[in-house]
Structures are given as structure tokens and as C-alpha cells.
Structure 1
């Protein structure tokens, strides 16, 4: 399988590291996974015989730009999609929750050129899910996006494959590790929101501008993807009622604890409604996970409640979900 990677930030490099590290094991179990092109904003490395992943990672991590690689050229991403012979495009550029660009254009162009797509990018799916899925179908290509929700956690594939035949009545969960870390810190150490946020930023859990996380937008994008892909709703991020965690105080957490509850930022899909807001969660509930962990609970007609817990972010964790989608496609192309 020939792969083009678009975006070589934390997630793109995470995937390259996993493909390099597991090369022999993957080849033995599934056949060859050969990366023939890697693009970032500065340019692209293209090699039909396979890009030297170790070298590409080193150049990017030392210099910040792929163009500094001896084989790199200044070339437009759309030209790479159109002209480089590959089976799958892995789209892992930064998420844009306002326009979904440039990822949306890259994905549609890949479909037009009969290339399967695996993405970790929430933006286009939170805004244009229906259009993207229909275009993939029209062009008879696979479109996989397990990595858009919950990092390493198999949420979408679990619901669609392992719980096939079940009617999923509701989905709720903690889908953002940054907010969970902040609330856990506030609860355990009785510190205020600003202090907990500052520590989350120092540890690299929160961005310099943390609004996507703490104001609930990241969770909202994820529940839109779950609502559309698992429950066949046709929603966008504009349909979600969103409230973040900035107003939560240590006192509110203390009072909740006294009554046998904690407070968590929960994303919920129930009876067609999509909500993201801080909610009271019983202390003994499976939804009460700590630190940066994520959790998703499915309420189903046959299997009743099914819960999956795991790491919702991180380079290797997200690469794990991308790799599972690549293997899924590879099996169908064999």
C-alpha cells in the first residue's frame, strides 16, 4: 500500500515513527506500507521507492521544516495529491473548526483522484460530514476517521462493527483530556481554574490559547462526528448547545463531592439533541475517570451500557487509530 502523508506535525510524525518502528511486524502480518510522499507547509519529500522515514522525522524535528531535507521540493499539496501515485492519503493537518480548510479541499481532491483517505482532522467532519461521506461513496473510495474522536480509543469502529445490530440510544462521555486534567486538578488540590489551566499549559496538555478545549468546542466537534457517523444524524457544530468549564470553582467541586458527585465536562447525544456542558457525575460512575483520560459510554438496546476508556490524545495514541484504519483499508485492497 502506497501512502501520502499530508501534515507533518505531532500526529504526522507520530504515524511515521510507528510505521518505521513496526515496519517488519506490519509487513509480516499485512504486507507493505510504503510512504511515497510527505508534505508540510514548506514543501514535500516524494520518493516512489519509499521515503526514508527516520531521516524525514530527524530533519523536521531539528529544523521545523521538511524543505530542509535534501530530497524535498517546493510543491503544492494539491499537485502531490493529483500527481503522486498512492493508494491512500493520510490527512493530518491542524483542525480548523471555523472553515474546515485546507483539510476539506485536500480530502475532496483525494476522492476526486480515486484515493482512499484516513484522517485525524475534526474540522471538516464537524462541518461537512454528509458532503464528505457522499463524495467518498460517489468516487468509490474508503473514508476512515477513527482518529478524529478519542485518540487511541476505538469508539467509532466499536460502535459500527462490534456493536453492529444494536440500536444506539445515547452516547455520552469525556472526550477532552485537557478539561478533564484541569477539573481533576481543581478537585484534588482545591486550586482555582486559572491555576489548574496554567499547570496544564506548562505540562503541554493545554495550548497557549486553550479556548477550543476549555470552552467546549473540541468536545462539540467530536460529538458531532459521533452523532453523524454512528447515529445517522445530520448535524454540524452549530447544532450543539455548548458551555465550557471556565466558571467551575473549587467550591462547586467540593459541594458536589459532599453529595457523592463530581463535575465533568460531558458531551452527550440523546434523542437527537447534542449538548456539551459541565455535568454532575456520580463518584462511582464509570464516567468518573481522572487526569487526561477520556471515556465514552454507549447506551444500547441489546448490549445495554458499553464503556470504553483510554488516552484521548498524544502522537502514538492517535497514530494507533490511524494505523487501524490503514490496516482496515489494506485488508480490503488485498
Structure 2
């Protein structure tokens, strides 16, 4: 592959940030990795912008900011006719049927095109189908951005810990919940008060259901369990309990025992669960604020723990771009 032709489907916060990084670091990628690319197509909810010769990314971002869409000429049907090598799939997560991301990814893989996605829904619902389709068509499917923002959990397991058997993973994989519980414990504030604060700060969504009910963490744990542990699980297999019932009294009780409460996701080959648990204050999992953390139990290296920012456009784009560079290296 002399040059990579890239298509982005889903041009919200993450999709735009990926395009921005591609444009900003184009020369760095070329000089450091020999990576040359053209962004030949972008699709958002209102239409698409396409060019076989490559789109002007700066103009694309400017158009999106001014008009709310990137549509220039043609319509959404044209995006299925553009020639490309790599799909970056950044449409919103849908836990009901995984669409439109599921179809976008499957169609790309069936055509032998590589895929990078930040969309948790398709992987948490149809892991086996996606993995088998990729294998059958000699296409690569990468998804580091789905599980921990900028934290390299999947790549750590597949590359640095390749000689290890990993038996379980436990971690905090939702920054919104971690922020809420950290603030509740530090200031003895009730849940609703801190949730409203988090929403005002932009840490929590206007509808925080996915986060506070443990759904987001559950989706991530399914993806981790399937890809690292070979669990062949689906989102429906996860035992889930969120943080809405956590009170200041329960946090004070934990404090008396020199512990705190965190929303933990845990997976092994037998079970995947998400629930609030007491954690000793001096334990590595006792991170504060919006930080995420994951501990992998291995047979050779023991416990390996990674931590960092688990959300945010820049952090998610970081993982998408790292997957892109990995694919480029593997293809060349």
C-alpha cells in the first residue's frame, strides 16, 4: 500500500477531532512512519462530502462549524461508491441494534476494507459476526478507542503482553461515574447535587443514563472480555448495577473503614459484571476525578495496571490514530 485512502462515517466530536489530528500531523506521520493518506470521504447525519483526490480537511471542518454539516455535492448514496482502504467509524453508540454503525462496519469488512471504530454498540452486540467477517475477508478490525479513551488496554494485551495468559480484567472505565463518586465522598454531597454539577461542567451528558446505570462500563467490559479473554459474550450477558442508589451514608461508612466506593467492571471467562464496590483507599483502583484505570491479571507478568483519561475527543482520537498507524505498519 503506497497511500491510504480513508473514509470517516460519523462526523461529530470524535470524527472531527480525528480529521483535525490527521491534518495537523500529516507531515509527522509521513516522516516518522512513511504514512501517506487522503481523506476521500466524510459522512455526517445530513449528508456526505466526497473526493477521489482527497478532501481539504481544513475547509471541511470550517464548513461543519459554520453550517452544521459537511454536505457539499451529491447525496448519501454516493458514499457507497467511493473507493477507500480504511473506514473510521464514529457514529453514536446504539445498544438496541448497533445501527447504523453495525452495517457500516460489516459492509466495509465484507469488501475487504480495514476498519477502526470508536462505536461500542456493534462490538458489544455482534462481536462474533464482526470478528468472523473480518477474518474471512482478510480485513483488520481495530477498536482501542471503544474501551478506555487514550488508555491502551487492547494494544497492551495484544502486543506488550502477547506472551501472557490473561485471566481477568478489573477496572474503572467511566469517568462520569468516577467523578460523581469522588465528589460525593470528598464533600459529603448527595448524588443529585453532584450529577447536576457534572452536567454543568460538561462531564455528564444531559441524559446520563448510559453512564450512571453502568451501561457504558458494561459495553466496554464485553468488548474487553471478548477481545482479550475470548469470552464470546454479548451485552445481554452482563450483570449490571449502577451508582444511582449510592448515598452519602454508604460513602461515610466506607470512609470509616478507610475505603471508598467505585463503579467497577470485572471480567473473566466465566462472568462479566458491573457494580459499585468498596475499594481500599491505598489500592491502585482508588483513582479520583474522571480518571479511568484497568488492571490485567497475567500468568507471567502478574498484575499490570494502566491509567489515564478515559474520555474526551482528543483522547479518543489518540487511540483511533494509534490503530491507524498500526494498520499502516501491518499492511506495509
In the superposition, the TM-score normalised over structure 1's length comes to 0.96
Q: Provide the alpha-carbon RMSD of the alignment.
A: 1.0
Deviations 1:240-284 (A, max 9, x none): 000000010112111101101100000001351111000001100
Q: 1:251 aligns with which of 249, 252, 266?
A: 249
Q: 1:154 aligns with which of 135, 152, 155?
A: 152
Structure 1 Cα separation of the partners of residues 12 and 246 of structure 2? 33
Q: How does 1:164-175 map to 2 (within 5 A)?
A: 164-175=162-173
Equivalent in the alignment of 2:311: 313
Per the TM alignment, residue 169 of structure 1 is displaced from its structure 2 partner at its CA by 1.5
Q: 2:14 aligns with which of 11, 26, 34?
A: 11
Per the TM alignment, residue 24 of structure 1 is displaced from its structure 2 partner at its CA by 1.0
Per the TM alignment, residue 63 of structure 1 is displaced from its structure 2 partner at its CA by 2.1
Structure 2 Cα separation of the partners of residues 271 and 231 of structure 1? 6
Per the TM alignment, residue 21 of structure 1 is displaced from its structure 2 partner at its CA by 1.1
Structure 2 Cα separation of the partners of residues 333 and 225 of structure 1? 24
Flag structure 2 segments of 5+ consecutive residues without an equivalent: none
In the superposition, the TM-score normalised over structure 2's length comes to 0.97
Q: What is the DSSP-based 3-state SS (H/G/I as helix, E as strand, rest coil) of the residue aligned with 2:148?
A: coil
Structure 2 Cα separation of the partners of residues 112 and 159 of structure 1? 27
Q: How does 1:216-235 map to 2 (within 5 A)?
A: 216-235=214-233
Q: How does 1:199-210 map to 2 (within 5 A)?
A: 199-210=197-208
Q: 1:125 aligns with which of 123, 126, 130?
A: 123
Structure 2 Cα separation of the partners of residues 142 and 227 of structure 1? 19
Per the TM alignment, residue 73 of structure 1 is displaced from its structure 2 partner at its CA by 2.8
Equivalent in the alignment of 2:45: 41
Structure 1 Cα separation of the partners of residues 73 and 280 of structure 2? 54
Q: What is the DSSP-based 3-state SS (H/G/I as helix, E as strand, rest coil) of the residue aligned with 1:44?
A: strand
CA contact (8 A) 1:146 1:157 kept: yes
Structure 1 Cα separation of the partners of residues 239 and 330 of structure 2? 39
Count of residues in Structure 1 that have an aligned counterpart in Structure 2: 328
Structure 1 Cα separation of the partners of residues 330 and 167 of structure 2? 30
Does 2:237 correspond to 1:239? yes
CA contact (8 A) 1:295 1:309 kept: yes
Deviations 1:151-187 (A, max 9, x none): 1000011011111121112100000001001111111
Per the TM alignment, residue 64 of structure 1 is displaced from its structure 2 partner at its CA by 1.5
Per the TM alignment, residue 141 of structure 1 is displaced from its structure 2 partner at its CA by 0.7
Q: 1:32 aligns with which of 24, 31, 36?
A: 36
Equivalent in the alignment of 2:286: 288
Structure 2 Cα separation of the partners of residues 128 and 166 of structure 1? 26
Deviations 1:31-68 (A, max 9, x none): 2122111101111111122111111111112221122x
Q: What is the DSSP-based 3-state SS (H/G/I as helix, E as strand, rest coil) of the residue aligned with 1:149?
A: helix
CA contact (8 A) 1:292 1:312 kept: yes
Deviations 1:8-37 (A, max 9, x none): 000000101111111111111122122111
Structure 1 Cα separation of the partners of residues 265 and 235 of structure 2? 12
CA contact (8 A) 1:175 1:312 kept: yes
Structure 1 Cα separation of the partners of residues 199 and 73 of structure 2? 34
CA contact (8 A) 1:66 1:72 kept: no
